[in-house]
Structure 1
Amino acid sequence: MPPPRIVLADDHVLVAEGIQQLLASEFDLVGLVGDGRALLDMIQELQPDIALVDISLPLLNGFDAVRQVKKISPNIKIVFLTMHDDKTFVEEAFRVGACGYILKESAISELVFALHEITAGRNYVTPSLAQEPATQAGKASSPQHGLSPDSLTQRQREILQLVAEGRSNKEISQILSIALKTVEFHKTRLMRCLHVQTTAELTKYAIAHGLVTL
């Protein structure tokens, strides 16, 4: 039986290279990307068995990328490999369709063990975070940082992330292939919805919810 085919989405080169070496003996790592939009293209092209995904990916964060991945490839197994140790992030991960959640600080051997568990059809969460997250699937999470990003539309979340990454309105319109006025409209609506008045406050919100990192 051929080894599971895996794609990895992580924008930290050293982390990605380390994982690539770790998995080489037991898994077939068929693709490596550094942002969420590239992940969508790669999964559509390669149709892997498992996707290892960081949450804080550039251009399109891991949660929103996985929401779209599940429409492209509903049977793919999603494993989040992340630095975020907030249990509300674990709940959100399973809510968008993950079957695994592993902290990057965990022992290297844990990742291999977790992938074997997931390949066998079982869910896996780093033990320090485990609190029956799979039972939370489909339930609304209760973020500790105010209004949940789920209250926003997909387009609003995409624009929020790009604003927080420091992209100009013109750059955002090019990345998303939408009109400049549409970007400005959504940005204004975002500020109203989140009750903020500045780009700095939008950025603070995005960081708190794992959409971007400092």
Structure 2
Amino acid sequence: MPSTHFLKLAMTMDSLGSQPNKRPGARILLVDDSREILDHLSNMLQPEYEVIGKVADGDQVCSKVASLSPDIIILDISMGNHSGIEIAHRLREQGYAKEIIFLTVHEDPDFVTAAIGAGGRAYVTKPRMTEDLGLAVKSVLSHRVFISAPLKWE
């Protein structure tokens, strides 16, 4: 016959596992000027992470970050009239201290250096986003830098 302590523990674990609408993981804000990319990223990251917003206009990023307070921002580097690197610098100047993952088509080491210098913790190229984005999120949550292969950062 199981002990009372064991039964209480089992009941507690059952009730924790059955909480509706409870998502594990980080709260993520997606920023890209392509609605298709935003939707694809959202579908990739949910259900493991909570996508709390999608921003397609670089002018709205700072206000969305202030109102939503994400744990991670996934930020495109080239967004029409805006540079994700400039936006990252602005966010850091305004006190945003959480993680930034850059997502980009640029496979140039100079962009990697600029992105990391702007406070990015990860650099994922769009051709590798399906393979690399989940790894990048896990890396930054563990306070490690992630760079898509074959790029390097020195």
TM-score by length of 2: 0.80
Choose 23-32 or 56-65, whichever is displaced more: 56-65
- Contact (CA 8 Å) 1:8, 1:53: kept in 2 or not? yes
Structure number having the greater helix percentage: 1
Corresponding residue of 1:82: 104
Q: Indicate the RMSD between aligned Cα atoms, in angstroms.
A: 1.5
Q: How many residues align?
A: 132
Looking at structure 1, the residues matched to 139 and 119 of structure 2 have their Cα atoms a distance apart, in angstroms, of 16
Unaligned runs of 5+ in 1: 133-214
Deviation at 1:107?
A: 5.0
Corresponding residue of 2:31: 9
Are 2:69 and 1:47 equivalent residues in the alignment?
A: yes
TM-score by length of 1: 0.59
Deviation at 1:20?
A: 0.5
Corresponding residue of 2:119: 97
Deviation at 1:15?
A: 1.1
Identity of aligned residues (%): 28
- Contact (CA 8 Å) 1:70, 1:76: kept in 2 or not? no
Corresponding residue to 1:30 among 37, 52, 55: 52
Secondary structure of the residue aligned to 2:88 is helix
Corresponding residue of 2:139: 117
Deviation at 1:47?
A: 0.8
The structure having more radius of gyration, on CA atoms, is 2
- Contact (CA 8 Å) 2:24, 2:48: kept in 1 or not? no
Deviation at 1:74?
A: 3.1
Deviation at 1:52?
A: 0.3
Looking at structure 1, the residues matched to 99 and 39 of structure 2 have their Cα atoms a distance apart, in angstroms, of 21
Matched residue type, 2:97: N
Choose 68-77 or 33-42, whichever is displaced more: 68-77
Are 2:85 and 1:63 equivalent residues in the alignment?
A: yes
Corresponding residue of 1:188: none
Structure number having the greater strand percentage: 2
Give CA deviations for 1:10-29 in whole Å, capped at 9, x if unaligned: 01111111111000011111
Give CA deviations for 1:74-112 in whole Å, capped at 9, x if unaligned: 321111000011110000001111100000001513110
- Contact (CA 8 Å) 2:109, 2:151: kept in 1 or not? yes
Secondary structure of the residue aligned to 2:78 is coil
